[in-house]
Structure 1
Amino acid sequence: MRGSLATTRRWSALGLVIGPAAFIGGWVIGGARTPGYSPVDDAISRLAAVGAPERGLMTTAFVAYGAAVLVGSTALRASPLRRCWALAAVNGAATIAVAALPLEHSASMDTWHGVAAGVGYASITALPIVSAGPLRSLGYGRAADLAIAGGITSGACLVATTVSDANGFFQRLGLTVGDVWLVAAGFALFRAAARPRPAA
């Protein structure tokens, strides 16, 4: 019998859905509006670099993602997936830091931008993997297997950004796989909290 994923922070769970939607929307629209920008070869952060034509849009998308995932982390903390909440909070904070440390400002800021991005990569990769244990204990064995596969795929893609010329492609793929976990978790927590609980 499967356990419940219910959280006491039902509406906060939607932050895990809204954040990725804002982020993906930002890089899709921003990239399409930027002349000469390649989603295969160019990193997402280039859209928010100093002097970039869509800097405002992409910076807003970064901040919206970070803030929404921070809110969503409170729903994770109040659920059986509480083991994941700190990673989600770190991921949200790291993404806001990426926005606050734009590329092309200075060499030192570029370095700190890379550090913030690395923390974001590590946390989004670890999130689904860490969720596998609680999911399996609740009876969601297939979801646990998919979570582990997703985390490994996300991590492999993000590592590939450091060795491949197609770093934009692998960055988007790796982050999107992690975002799929966030969205799935957000909807699952929201729906579980909406179900009536059996009488004692």
Structure 2
Amino acid sequence: MRVPPWALLSATAAPVLLIGGWTLAAARQPGGFDQVAGTISALAARDATDRWIMTLALVGLGLCHCVTAAGLRSLRPTGRALLALGGAATVAVAAFPLPAERGSSAPHGLAAAVAFGALALWPALAAVRRRAPSPSAGLPPRGGTTAAAVLLVAVGWFVVELVTGGPRIGLAERVAAGAEALCPLVVALALHRRPDR
């Protein structure tokens, strides 16, 4: 089953919104913004200049994940549901901004944890398990497990930087979030290119 064009569009828009959002929002901060040390959430915090840019990018990213999940019909429903949950949690991240650049918020932290976790694990649960592999079917188990392992390593680095107050927290978050935004696109393109049988 080929991936519908609207799902390919949403999968393509997701990383564009995220990376474009953090790039434009950082450029709008007076005095510059250190993207290696500063988090994505700081760009949407209540005291950020033009916080609406990153807020809209996060909402768009989350909605794209939900749309993409609906379009990846050849994958297991549990994986698709986890991708949609990650999208919904990303919208919640935008709905519960940080009070200030260095402030904290329990709802924001919980939404971010659910989003990062769900978006890292969905490929493993989306993989179709079968005795005789078919080239037209969904994500192979090894591919889903490998993708999830890579995403979990990236998220793990971000968590270590977050807990230890590391100087590269922004870079670690961008690597993890960027990889998670690109993963549905890679899966959608791989499924779209497979021949129908």
TM-score tier by shorter-chain length is 0.7 to 0.9
Q: Partner letter of residue 88 of structure 2?
A: A
Unpaired runs of at least 5, structure 1? 1-5
Counterpart position of 1:150 = 150
Distance 2:99 2:6 in 1: 38
Q: Where do residues 6-85 of structure 1 align in structure 2 (5 Å cutoff)?
A: 6-7=1-2, 9-34=4-29, 35-76=31-72, 78-85=73-80
Contact 1:8 1:75 in 2 (8 A): yes
Q: Residue 145 and residue 68 in structure 1: after superposition, are their counterparts in 2 closer, same or farther (change >3 A)?
A: closer
Contact 2:62 2:89 in 1 (8 A): yes
Please state which structure has a larger fraction of its residues in helix.
Answer: 1
TM-score (norm 1): 0.80
TM-score (norm 2): 0.81
The Cα of 1:138 is off from its aligned counterpart by: 4.7
Unpaired runs of at least 5, structure 2? none
Once superposed, which parts of structure 1, at least 4 consecutive aligned residues long, lie more than 6 Å away? none
Count of residues paired in the alignment? 187
1:116 is paired with a residue of what secondary structure? helix
CA offset digits 1:158-179 (Å, max 9, x no partner):
3223222321111111112222
1:162 is paired with a residue of what secondary structure? helix
Q: Residue 168 and residue 141 in structure 1: after superposition, are their counterparts in 2 closer, same or farther (change >3 A)?
A: same
1:171 lines up with 2:166 in the alignment: no
Contact 1:102 1:109 in 2 (8 A): no
Counterpart position of 2:186 = 184
The Cα of 1:10 is off from its aligned counterpart by: 4.2
Q: Residue 58 and residue 122 in structure 1: after superposition, are their counterparts in 2 closer, same or farther (change >3 A)?
A: same
Q: Where do residues 86-105 of structure 1 align in structure 2 (5 Å cutoff)?
A: 86-104=81-99
